[in-house]
Amino acid sequence: IYPSYDYTHCLVDSLEDIDYSLCTLEFETRRESYFWLLEALNLYRPKVWEFSRLNVTGSLLSKRKINFLVENGVVRGFDDPRLLTLAGMRRRGYTPAAINEFCTMVGISRSENMIDIKLLDHIQRGYFDRESERRFGVLDPLLVVVTNPLDHPISYEAPNHPKSKSFGFRRLNLTKIFYIEKSDFRKIDSGNFFGLSTNPDKPVGLKYGPNMYYVRHDEDTTSGEATCVYVNLDFVKNKKPKTHIHWLAVESAVRAEFRVYDSLLLNDKTAVENTMENINTKSETIYRGFVESGLEKSPISTTFQFERMGYFTIDRDTMGKALMVFNRVIALREDSEVKKL
């Protein structure tokens, strides 16, 4: 209620010895009443500084609007990873260093503006690239069966970070049955698709392992979707593949849920007035897949780069489920190319 707000705002600032009272531009017209009351009561006068609101693409920063989204069940709570609240950003996996750098770069302005969330993602990606260990995670799994003899698992060494040996190495066991991403297989091949297809002469590399060639596949009789692909492994690697894809052995894979986020808003400009009409109902996509064994021992909020898929943080919901839960913080730079596979 503005009359009572105008009365208490300046008094509280003065009594609490506030140096600078920082407000958004709509409070600039209240300066006169703010200073008049303090002068009439002979109280200390803080300095007042008005600036424009921070607007970031794809999300809302108004406390009233955020509360509306929470109360209407659009998001899980004030710490929902789609929100740019500090609690939401922490849960999603954004780091304090990246947030502080973002705020420094954006600065303070009296001009209305819309900051692209890609700036924050660019900053965060730099920190993750240097600090996050690499792992394999298959979000949307497709079963692969090896047809040539493979009597025992074959172990391959994989670096935990491609740019720094100080992160160490890990062992990946390749077995007769393993998972790949569904998007890495197509029944109809094309010139710009380098993943596995029904072309039996095209080699596809398994990261840190051998090449493979298509033999045949099973498919669902109703949907026509491939349910299992049979391949022949080439350990000699006579042909150089155009791509290497990630994979996970079935016997050691750990079940996981992946929450992949998109923009919360369909239209940034009209969402202020018509919030519900501009909510992106597909802002969260949940996948059920697998990750490497050993990750279940990692602390909550640890971030990994799942190779070719993005940077993912362990969510606290992991503690209450029979599977691990990951939030995708940001995609990789190569994300557009990954979608082509």
Q: What is the pTM of this model?
A: 0.89
Radius of gyration (Cα) for the chain, nearest Å? Answer: 26
pLDDT at residue number 272: 66
Mutual angle of helices 96-106 and 117-131, in 10-degree steps: 140
CATH number attached to the domain at 255-261+278-340: 2.40.240.10
Strand 185-186 vs strand 177-181: parallel, antiparallel, or unpaired? unpaired
Give residue limits of the domains in the chain.
Answer: 2-51, 63-133, 135-251, 255-261+278-340
Query: What's the pLDDT tens digit per position in 2-43?
Result: 678 889 999 999 999 999 999 999 889 999 999 999 999 999
pLDDT for the residue numbered 339: 44
Residue 268, pLDDT score: 85
Share of the chain above pLDDT 70, in %: 96
If you ran DSSP here, which 8-state letter would residue 271 be given?
T
Q: What number is the average pLDDT over the span 248-267?
A: 96
Nearest to 83 by CA among 243, 290, 284, 286: 284
Query: Which tens digits make up the pLDDT trace of 147-172?
Result: 999 889 999 999 999 999 999 999 99
pLDDT tens per residue, range 63-84 = 989 999 999 999 999 999 999 9
Quickly name the fold that domain 2-51 has: Rossmann fold (3.40.50)
- Band (pLDDT 50/70/90 cuts) for residue 112 is confident
Domain 63-133 homologous superfamily, CATH: Glutamyl-trna Synthetase; Domain 2 (1.10.1160.10)
pLDDT of amino acid 277 = 86
| Residues 6+ positions from 253 with CB-CB distance below 8 Å | 138, 179, 290, 291, 292, 293
Contacts 24+ apart (CB under 8 A), 153-156: 153/249, 153/251, 154/209, 156/208, 156/209
- How far is residue 220 from each of residues 48, 167, 213, 226, 324, measured CA to CA in Å? 67, 42, 22, 6, 28
Average per-residue pLDDT for the chain: 93
Q: Which residue has the tokens 């209305």?
A: 112
On the question of pLDDT at 54 being above 50, the answer is yes
Question: How is domain 135-251 classified at the CATH fold level?
Answer: Ribosomal Protein L25; Chain P (2.40.240)
Tell me what the mean pLDDT of segment 128-156 comes to: 96
Domain 135-251 and domain 255-261+278-340, same fold? Reply is: yes
